Amino acid sequence: MTNFSLESNPTEALKATFRGHASGVVIVTLLDEHKNPVGFTATSVTSLGATPPLFTFNVSQGASSWPAVSLRGHVAIHTLGAEDVDLARKLAGPKVARFTDQDWNPGPFGLPVFEAASSVLIGKIRDIHDVESNAVVIVDVLEALLGVEKGGLLYHQRNFVGVGEVLD
Amino acid sequence: MTNFSLESNPTEALKATFRGHASGVVIVTLLDEHKNPVGFTATSVTSLGATPPLFTFNVSQGASSWPAVSLRGHVAIHTLGAEDVDLARKLAGPKVARFTDQDWNPGPFGLPVFEAASSVLIGKIRDIHDVESNAVVIVDVLEALLGVEKGGLLYHQRNFVGVGEVLD
């Protein structure tokens, strides 16, 4: 235990650890109650078993997209490459500018599909677990739109980064 | 929608999408009912809000570590760098070989702490949500051991990879 310093404040402990944890960046899209497109950039999407195929993501109930998520409808997850960093930034930026370009089209179940995605996983929200002011969203996979394989897009140390070399 | 091909099998859809989704690799450690060390390599650890500080991970109830997880005790999350790929492989390999080297020590709450980690986040399991044969584990953060900042370790396209360049 010689190499470590103790961070006893739990909020600082979480922040310091997750700054050093590289996470994959995706765009999540869905529809609001008026069938208008909603979307956001997320780093919390992760698989939850393949039989049956499920995935999860985490969201704050204070987020602008939360009312749409809480409808428990269909949802699309877009995987991205390093060349899509501006798209990831746009979907993390002002809500009014997220769907004003001609870079998306309505896809399965009317979900917004960004054409740049390397793949688009289509699912239906099965369950939402409230945890404090956040939520864990459980999604059943229905199908996918598979595009061109890309190198991956990550968030690490407060920067968007690409995927590095394969390790032997 | 000109760039995509439809994968209508949901299991294949999940697998194809997550192959292209780069995810951060960590080592999770805890203690079993006899206070023996248990650990595994995971790609599902993600933050769940900072106030209060929480994180989640997903695990199969068929995994060898599941009985220890189901005790709802303390847990340690180790973030890693590319130079720790062999450690990540070891903790994803045969269970009997995971704690036989002199690369770990007992840490807070007796949890196994691997000295190579860039940081070790210590938490207490708050809740477990069963989903089919899997589980979503909700953890309260208590503190962290902060070590040397590293470049990050990822899993992408069935390979361990490092973190690439910062994107402008």
Note whether A129 contacts B: Cβ–Cβ < 8 A: yes
Mean per-residue pLDDT, B129-157? 96
Please write the tens of the pLDDT for every residue from A90-129: 999 999 999 999 999 999 999 999 999 999 999 999 999 9
Q: Do B7 and A150 touch (CB under 8 A)?
A: no
Chain B residue with CA closest to A9: the answer is B143
| Max Cα distance, chain A (Å) | 57
B61 touches chain A (CB under 8 A): no
Phi and psi at residue B92, in whole multiples of 5°? -105, 0
Q: Is the pLDDT of residue B76 over 60?
A: yes
Contact A145 B6 (CB under 8 A): yes
Positive or negative CA dihedral for B96, B81, B136, B131?
Answer: negative
Q: Does B13 touch chain A (CB under 8 A)?
A: yes
Q: Is A59 exposed, middle or buried (0-12, 13-18, 19+ CB in 10 A)?
A: buried
Q: Do A85 and B18 touch (CB under 8 A)?
A: no
Domain range summary for chain A, segments of one domain joined by + = 23-156
ipTM comes to 0.95
Chain A residues with CB-CB distance to B4 below 8 A: 113, 120, 145-147
How much is the pLDDT for B41? 98
Q: Express each pLDDT in B7-38 by its tens digit.
A: 999 999 999 999 999 999 999 999 999 999 99
Query: How close is the nearest chain B Cα to the Cα of A3, in Å?
Result: 6
Nearest to B118 among A14, A20, A49 (CB): A20
Interface membership of B132 toward A (CB under 8 Å) = yes
Which pLDDT does position B3 carry in this prediction? 80
Cβ atoms A29, A111 nearer than 8 A: yes
The CATH architecture annotation of domain B23-155 reads Roll (2.30)
In this prediction, residue A1 has a pLDDT band, given cuts at 50, 70 and 90, of low
User: pLDDT averaged over chain B?
Assistant: 96
* A10 inside 8 A of chain B by CB: yes
Among the partner-chain residues B24, B122, B167, the one whose CB lies closest to the CB of A23 is B24
Given CB atoms, is A31 within the 8 Å cutoff of chain B? no
Mean pLDDT of A121-138: 98
Contact state of B46 with A46 under an 8 Å Cβ cutoff: yes
pLDDT mean across residues, chain A = 96
Looking at the complex, does the CB of residue B56 fall below 8 Å from at least one CB of chain A?
yes
User: Quick check: A152 pLDDT over 60?
Assistant: yes
Chain A and chain B share a number of CB contacts under 8 A equal to: 297
Q: State yes or no: pLDDT of A165 exceeds 70.
A: yes
* Per-residue confidence band for B82, with pLDDT thresholds at 50, 70 and 90: very high
Q: Select from B24, B25, B42, B22 the least CA-distant residue to B156.
A: B22
Residue B63 CB burial class (10 angstroms; 0-12, 13-18, ≥19): middle
- Over residues B48-67, the mean pLDDT reads 96
pLDDT at B1 exceeding the cut of 90: no
B71: buried, middle or exposed (CB in 10 Å: 19+, 13-18, 0-12)? middle
Report the CATH number of the A23-156 domain: 2.30.110.10
Interface check B47 vs A, CB under 8 A = yes
- Overall average pLDDT of the B111-140 stretch: 98
Q: Please say if the pLDDT value at position A16 is more than 90.
A: yes
